[in-house]
A and B are shown apart, each in its own frame.
Chain A
């Protein structure tokens, strides 16, 4: 492919031909021929540079959103020619679309921006800002392998299979360019980031103890005696009720009551929206909120169930460990088709008598729905997640916190069992948002203070 420098060479050669025609000077044609030859050779050179190369990528398979990923690219030259000035471009895993070709362009600045920010335009680093990693491989001998390692930051929640690596060359002379795209398989799961909560109002204020038989005596014992049952292989001999065993002439073990805390059901709103990027952003924010709440609840001993929607059906995860929850959250996609009310109705099968519901809902200012599940005396927390673009308008309405009070009133009217309401907007302080719900507060409290 040709570009601006190629066009300059073409223009010069055309000028040489015109001067040659005008002056009948044969050397002008030869100089034009030489320029065109440089172009052709550069074109072939850049084409050969990007062929017969093998690329492998390795990195840890799981990483957190706020961590940095150590990526190693191995480029092997399977051809017979050495490679020089080869650019290896590793695509951002979170990229929306991977184009067929890559073009290396110099960053530019307008004169006005130069005045505001003196200095050359910077090339954003993948370690800081994410995006594509553009790496220069100065030389690679035939049959040899080069190893390039770099750090990638700015990761985004998700599960990623394969993504392309572009091999880009402008040849040795930089007069033509070629790019080849190699799809490299390297599975990666990026967990959502989370905050370490010090409290979550509803769970802290309702230490419901459920008396239930502990089904796994080997794990330990509860405080209260529940009853006896026949011995089963695997039961500890410590739990044998010797008196009853003697009476019944067979091994009988004691069962204890377990003091479990109220189960927590966390439901996400993974509705698909017309604006896919916005839906993804909101879902990412919800994933972070859910991860934070789930972690707190899990560590506090609450059985946690996560629910999301695929089409019109809910699907769930009973959290056995926090990592599995993170994996589940990383794999979430905006693929639900139920509205807020239907989402709440679909939670019926998951709700027990003591279940505490934490419902996350994308909210764009519309009236809150009412649902029959709330009429059963359900204790619930509602976390409204609002797109950041509404922040300014909302802030305009909320002098002295009027709008938030109004929101709280409306939410309690619509959902009678609602204990707390939180409103989270992108950029807010997540920890404060979850620890301090809106109820009782005079103004919207979660906005992060501007850095000075």
Chain B
């Protein structure tokens, strides 16, 4: 009985549908190796493990090729057992490190590849390996932070496309019958390579178009934390604020402003000095992966002293946690409207102050330390944020429309908000200005909105501003003397005017969103993105981020479903990367032209939308106008066909008559006594490319055999003749062209 069972299993395990193509095996092996190399390059798995895997896979492919005809039952059982061991290891690692399953997953797929490579007898097995290599590539892609990954994708495609082609060739060969004889050219290596290269180009171009067209969706209910705590936890250190660009920063602004370091933003310090600014260098600071764009706030300043901002003086609270994350307590007594979540991961690329940058309002912080401190100015870390550090923050965001914010009332607990309303003595004209800007009886948001609109409309953004004169008030000087300034000036003026209008406000320093990299999906934040903005307090909504600086807009959410499109970001990316290659004048002209084009298109669409709202029939009219040429063309074609058929009562007879007339016009001399076969011989001799034997045979059966053709056959016959006529004309033109060239050359020679 056992013997029979074993033989039955042996029969079932006998290799079937064997894949004999070495090329297919080679390209599968190559795509797996490329995926593994991608993992090694992205530092997901250690290079030594990758090297070992590549050696084992190569060995596996070789063994699999040699033993492809054997059943290998025990071998298969061993592979299955080892795969289960790899799965158990994956589950264990996922349990130990629940935040990011990607690394264990990569290791699992790596081992599955290695084990599976020892048993690849069939086409299906090889295709599974190809899919598996794609998964490895995707895992490596999820770790990739830069555009350079595109080269790995191209390389993988260059291996995968031949793989698919060879699989397809093998499949079709196995499913088709063997012909008795086949007379055609065999595909040469060159023709196959050309075809595959064309496909590669087509896939890349189409992939670019589709990739740009895919909407980026932020579904908050499908979220896992995309961070990776890959650094060892640091021991606790000093929690005092430290800015590596300004190492010896005093607690209060000195009498004379400090010299500006263009490699560090002075706003991350114990004070925000409005007397100096300077231009920051374009140094990459960090890359941010976030579910929605935001300003990455660092420090909040509450006290204004006429030329600088200071944080509120209070004792910082220590946040300690034995395990991640740090949970930030909600400030007591304040009702927040928090209707969205922003999950952010920060990849530091240069040294930064020991401040946790995050979108407002952070609630969970995953940081590789066991201690953080926080106060109203922000979160401090026990060490400076160094290059390579990765941390994640989950923020609760307020996403209310202007109409909803306008409906909110005055703050009720004014004693808590007193520090955000207090101001030093200000010149009279500043106070008067508030009275002029703010409308009578308006709510807090409307008052703040009026001030914001006023600043944006009447003041210019400029980094070229002379230093603040001795004893002058920075806000007064900006509002009435300079009338231009940088973001700190706008933020200060806005915060001061809001406080004067009775709206609690504070100034925030941090980084603006940065440039969106459409490939990696990360925001590239540079030092020149350092920015200052304002948070105003609205009862019921909490602190709401506002930016009064012209040209800056607080990024909002991409609609109710969180769908955003990256056309603009992609064009911006292309512009950023191509512009250095073009001369400045052409760059400016292109920019202007594109801008005009985009504005024009926008105006047309908004005009259309407006008109449609007013005249609902307009879209139908437009649709008709657009479709009319196509309808007309289609109808004309139908009419032409009908008229052609109508004009040929004998169908094929008339067609042949017309055809022969046309052939005579092309110089074919036909005698009335010639038979059809003689005419055919004449045509074939004159135009060797024409093959009309079948049509003439059909015509013969109609003309002399009394055969009646169906409409479809008649049409096909007429089309064949028309096509033959076109070919003959082309051939005659080619002959004439050659003749004219010959005569021209002769004339030149003479």
Within 8 A of B (CB), among A15-57: 16-34, 36-38, 40-41, 44-45, 56
Q: Does B289 contact A (CB under 8 A)?
A: yes
Q: Does B394 contact A (CB under 8 A)?
A: no
The minimal Cβ–Cβ distance linking B306 to chain A, given in whole angstroms, is 43
B191 engages A34 (CB within 8 Å): no
Residue of B nearest to A126 (CB): B177
Q: Which residues of B contact A151 (CB under 8 A)?
A: 180
Within 8 A of B (CB), among A73-125: 76, 78, 82, 84-85, 87, 104-106, 111, 114-115, 118-120, 123, 125
A170 engages B179 (CB within 8 Å): no
B203 engages A41 (CB within 8 Å): yes
Out of B8, B144, B185, which one reaches A139, CB within 8 Å? B185
Q: Which residues of A contact B689 (CB under 8 A)?
A: 143
Q: Does B196 contact A (CB under 8 A)?
A: yes
B141 engages A28 (CB within 8 Å): yes
Q: Which residues of B contact A141 (CB under 8 A)?
A: 185, 191
Q: Which residues of A contact B164 (CB under 8 A)?
A: 172-175
Q: Does A220 contact B (CB under 8 A)?
A: no
Kindly supply a per-residue 1/0 record for chain B positions 503-522, scoring 1 wherever the CB is within 8 Å of any chain A CB and 0 otherwise.
00000000000000111111
Out of A123, A170, A185, which one reaches B168, CB within 8 Å? A170
Q: Does B219 contact A (CB under 8 A)?
A: yes
Chain B residues at the A interface, C-beta cutoff of 8 Å: 8, 11-12, 14, 16-17, 131, 134, 137-138, 141-142, 144, 149, 153, 157, 161, 164-165, 167-169, 171-187, 191-192, 195-196, 199, 202-214, 216-219, 222-224, 226, 289-291, 343, 517-522, 689, 691, 694, 698, 712, 723
The minimal Cβ–Cβ distance linking A418 to chain B, given in whole angstroms, is 45
Out of B153, B208, B213, B219, which one reaches A31, CB within 8 Å? B153
The minimal Cβ–Cβ distance linking B364 to chain A, given in whole angstroms, is 16
B217 engages A37 (CB within 8 Å): no
Q: Does A135 contact B (CB under 8 A)?
A: yes
The minimal Cβ–Cβ distance linking B555 to chain A, given in whole angstroms, is 14
Out of B191, B199, B712, which one reaches A41, CB within 8 Å? B199
Q: Which residues of B contact A115 (CB under 8 A)?
A: 8, 11-12
Q: In the assembly, what is the distance between CA of A143 and CA of B730, in Å?
A: 14
| Residue from A141, A150, A172, A185 whose CB has the most chain B CB atoms within 10 Å | A172
A-B contact pairs, 18 of them (CB 8 A): A19-B142, A24-B218, A24-B226, A30-B141, A31-B138, A33-B208, A33-B213, A40-B206, A104-B175, A106-B171, A111-B12, A114-B11, A135-B182, A137-B182, A141-B185, A146-B184, A149-B181, A175-B164
Q: Which residues of B contact A136 (CB under 8 A)?
A: 172-173, 176
The minimal Cβ–Cβ distance linking B399 to chain A, given in whole angstroms, is 18
Q: Which residues of A contact B204 (CB under 8 A)?
A: 34, 37
B195 engages A29 (CB within 8 Å): no
List the 9 closest pairs (A to B, CB-CB), nearest first: A26-B521, A33-B211, A146-B184, A37-B206, A139-B187, A27-B141, A174-B168, A37-B207, A34-B207
The minimal Cβ–Cβ distance linking A34 to chain B, given in whole angstroms, is 4
Q: Does A442 contact B (CB under 8 A)?
A: no
The minimal Cβ–Cβ distance linking A238 to chain B, given in whole angstroms, is 41
The minimal Cβ–Cβ distance linking B185 to chain A, given in whole angstroms, is 6
- Given contacts A33-B214, A34-B153, A172-B199, is CB(A146)–CB(B171) below 8 Å? no
Given contacts A30-B519, A84-B192, could you give 14 more A-B pairs where the C-beta distance is less than 8 Å? A21-B219, A26-B216, A30-B141, A32-B210, A34-B207, A85-B169, A134-B175, A139-B186, A141-B185, A147-B184, A172-B164, A172-B196, A173-B165, A183-B712
Residue of A nearest to B219 (CB): A21
A56 engages B172 (CB within 8 Å): no
B210 engages A36 (CB within 8 Å): yes
Q: Which residues of B contact A433 (CB under 8 A)?
A: none
B168 engages A85 (CB within 8 Å): yes
Residue of B nearest to A105 (CB): B175
Q: In the assembly, what is the distance between CA of A392 and CA of B179, in Å?
A: 40
A118 engages B177 (CB within 8 Å): no
Q: Which residues of B contact A25 (CB under 8 A)?
A: 141-142, 144, 226, 289, 520-521
B168 engages A172 (CB within 8 Å): yes
Q: Does A347 contact B (CB under 8 A)?
A: no
Q: Which residues of A contact B169 (CB under 8 A)?
A: 85, 138
Q: Does A210 contact B (CB under 8 A)?
A: no
Q: Which residues of A contact B176 (CB under 8 A)?
A: 87, 123, 134-136
Out of A21, A37, A87, A140, which one reaches B210, CB within 8 Å? A37
Q: Which residues of B contact A312 (CB under 8 A)?
A: none
Q: Does A395 contact B (CB under 8 A)?
A: no
Q: In the assembly, what is the distance between CA of A119 and CA of B18, in Å?
A: 11
Q: In the assembly, what is the distance between CA of A24 and CA of B562, in Å?
A: 12
| Residue from B196, B216, B218, B723 whose CB has the most chain A CB atoms within 10 Å | B216
A29 engages B203 (CB within 8 Å): no
Q: Which residues of B contact A105 (CB under 8 A)?
A: 175
Q: In the assembly, what is the distance between CA of A70 and CA of B179, in Å?
A: 11
| Residue from A21, A134, A144, A185 whose CB has the most chain B CB atoms within 10 Å | A21
A24 engages B521 (CB within 8 Å): yes
The minimal Cβ–Cβ distance linking A135 to chain B, given in whole angstroms, is 5
Q: In the assembly, what is the distance between CA of A119 and CA of B178, in Å?
A: 19
Out of A22, A32, A144, which one reaches B214, CB within 8 Å? A32
B16 engages A28 (CB within 8 Å): no
Q: Which residues of B contact A143 (CB under 8 A)?
A: 689
Residue of A nearest to B153 (CB): A34
- Given contacts A24-B290, A27-B519, is CB(A12)–CB(B134) below 8 Å? yes
Q: In the assembly, what is the distance between CA of A85 and CA of B174, in Å?
A: 12
- Given contacts A82-B191, A126-B177, A146-B183, is CB(A26)–CB(B161) below 8 Å? no
Within 8 A of B (CB), among A130-187: 133-141, 143-144, 146-151, 170-175, 183, 185
Q: Which residues of B contact A26 (CB under 8 A)?
A: 216, 517-522
Q: In the assembly, what is the distance between CA of A141 and CA of B192, in Å?
A: 12
A8 engages B131 (CB within 8 Å): yes
Q: In the assembly, what is the distance between CA of A126 and CA of B712, in Å?
A: 30
A18 engages B222 (CB within 8 Å): yes
A23 engages B142 (CB within 8 Å): yes
B16 engages A120 (CB within 8 Å): yes
Q: Which residues of A contact B165 (CB under 8 A)?
A: 172-173
A23 engages B177 (CB within 8 Å): no
A22 engages B223 (CB within 8 Å): yes
Q: In the assembly, what is the distance between CA of A27 and CA of B712, in Å?
A: 51
Q: In the assembly, what is the distance between CA of A227 and CA of B528, in Å?
A: 130
A22 engages B224 (CB within 8 Å): yes
Q: In the assembly, what is the distance between CA of A20 and CA of B217, in Å?
A: 9
Q: In the assembly, what is the distance between CA of A126 and CA of B179, in Å?
A: 10
Q: Which residues of A contact B217 (CB under 8 A)?
A: 17, 21
- Given contacts A26-B517, A70-B180, A138-B186, is CB(A82)–CB(B211) below 8 Å? no
The minimal Cβ–Cβ distance linking A205 to chain B, given in whole angstroms, is 47
Residue of A nearest to B201 (CB): A41
Q: Which residues of B contact A78 (CB under 8 A)?
A: 723
Q: Which residues of B contact A40 (CB under 8 A)?
A: 206, 210
Residue of B nearest to A186 (CB): B694
The minimal Cβ–Cβ distance linking B135 to chain A, given in whole angstroms, is 8
Q: Which residues of B contact A148 (CB under 8 A)?
A: 179, 181-184
Residue of B nearest to A76 (CB): B691
Out of B142, B161, B185, B214, which one reaches A17, CB within 8 Å? B214
B17 engages A33 (CB within 8 Å): no
Q: Which residues of A contact B175 (CB under 8 A)?
A: 104-106, 123, 134
Q: Which residues of B contact A183 (CB under 8 A)?
A: 712
A174 engages B14 (CB within 8 Å): no
The minimal Cβ–Cβ distance linking B228 to chain A, given in whole angstroms, is 11
| Residue from A37, A82, A106, A111 whose CB has the most chain B CB atoms within 10 Å | A37
Q: In the assembly, what is the distance between CA of A284 and CA of B187, in Å?
A: 45
The minimal Cβ–Cβ distance linking B518 to chain A, given in whole angstroms, is 6
Residue of A nearest to B14 (CB): A118
- Given contacts A20-B521, A34-B211, A173-B161, is CB(A27)–CB(B185) below 8 Å? no
Q: Which residues of B contact A173 (CB under 8 A)?
A: 161, 164-165, 168, 199
Residue of A nearest to B291 (CB): A24
B210 engages A147 (CB within 8 Å): no
The minimal Cβ–Cβ distance linking A9 to chain B, given in whole angstroms, is 9
